Homo-oligomer: A and B are copies of this chain.
Amino acid sequence: MSKINVAVLGATGMIGQRFIQLLENHPWFEIGGLYASERSEGKKLKDVLKVRDHSFNDETLDMTIERLETKKISELNRIAFSGLPSDIAGPIESDLADLGVAVFSNAANHRMRDDVPLLIPECNSSHLEAIKQQKTYSNGGYIVTNANCSTTGIAVPLKAIDTSFGLKMVCISTYQAVSGAGYPGVPSLDILCNVVPYIKNEEEKMEMELAKILGDYNGSRFIDANVNVLSNCVRVPVIDGHLESLVFNLSKDADVDKLAGVIRSFTAEPQKLQLPSAPIAPIIVRDEPDRPQPACDAFAGTPARARGMACTVGRIREKDNYFKMFVLSHNTLRGGAGGSVLNAELAVAKKMM
């Protein structure tokens, strides 16, 4: 099987460069071009690096950033991975779908559309069907979105819990890494020795997105899950990895051991299909008293290609018919570029490409 040509949109940004790292040496995909705004046209990747971890192939580092022109992109690529900022992503992604490109996007613009899957393959792989409602589907163009970084990490264990025990209400407090704000992002003057209890629109996104992801797709539209989601979002001085505290209650009987068992053994379609970026265990449950921690668990996930694609759960406790636990996941891998790469792999495996 020959590899599928893929474009990376927003190649000068944090998420764009995570896409590049994941697509180098990918077994199914070949980077067909790196695209960004006019300002970076002609520069080499190595001159616009944003991620601290510079472990790119030398040939990749020497790739040239091209100006983002949808016509040209569509001629050269079957897929576009979009790490574009949301102030410009909307119409560009629509244009590409019109031109027959399958767009897998990290941007928020199209997430809540009634014909666009907000896809986390471990949670709602059946939602992918919705792309058939997109008017451009017949000529191969469509848009699939991954969820917000703070939504993604907790969605997988909450799906496991909801399926087995019926999730009624969940209170979430986040401890979000600065890489989630892109580059330059959070000024050091704001966050050194400080925490900031505000991330614009983040709480609204989490609350809406979780309901869609945990909900159903009935063949023509999405039906939100009947879950009460209450979130408080906070930025902390951490580079990578969002930690989240959860308090929730359930409609069926449960206890700590049953919960841990269900979460620990959870697998879903990506594992069954053995998608290249799927972690063997999508949720790792730690027994230590003080885990998960960003410093230790952000890059959880095996095999090597799934590094940063597993989320880690710890400190499952019960009190007064409520459960408490912590979840950690990598915000720009599982919760960003990695999420969309996995989505594209699912589409390929399901022959919707």
A189 interface residue per 8 A CB criterion: yes
CB pair B237–A193 under 8 Å, yes or no, is yes
Check A320 for interface membership: any CB of B closer than 8 A. yes
Given contacts A188-B185, A189-B52, A230-B320, contact A236 B292 (CB under 8 A): no
Task: Describe A's contact surface by its main secondary structure.
Answer: mixed
Q: Does A64 belong to the interface (CB within 8 Å)?
A: no
Is A232 within 8 A of B189, CB to CB?
Answer: no
Q: Which B residues touch A192, using CB under 8 A? A: 178, 188, 191-193, 237-239
Number of this chain's copies in the assembly equals 4
A120-148 to B contact mask, C-beta < 8 Å, 1/0: 00000000000000000000000000000
Q: Could you tell me if B186 and A239 are in contact, using CB atoms closer than 8 angstroms? A: no
Judged by a CB distance under 8 angstroms, whether A294 is at the interface is yes
Q: CB within 8 A of A295: which of B52, B230, B234?
A: B52
* Interface residue A194 (Cβ < 8 Å from any Cβ of B): yes
Query: Interface with B: A28-36, A70-78, A195-203, which one?
Result: A195-203
* Contact status A295-B193, CB under 8 Å: yes
Please name all residues of chain B whose beta carbon is closer than 8 Å to the beta carbon of A238 when the two chains form the complex.
Answer: 192-195
Chain A, interface size category, equals 35 or more
- Assembly CA distance A211 to B326 (angstroms): 24
User: Among B179, B207, B324, B326, which residue has its beta carbon within 8 angstroms of that of A319?
Assistant: B207
Please give the residue numbers on chain A whose beta carbons come within 8 Å of chain B beta carbons, in ascending order: 14, 50, 52, 54, 171, 173, 175, 178-179, 183-198, 203, 207, 228, 230, 232, 234, 236-239, 243, 245-247, 289-296, 314-315, 317, 319-320, 322, 324, 326
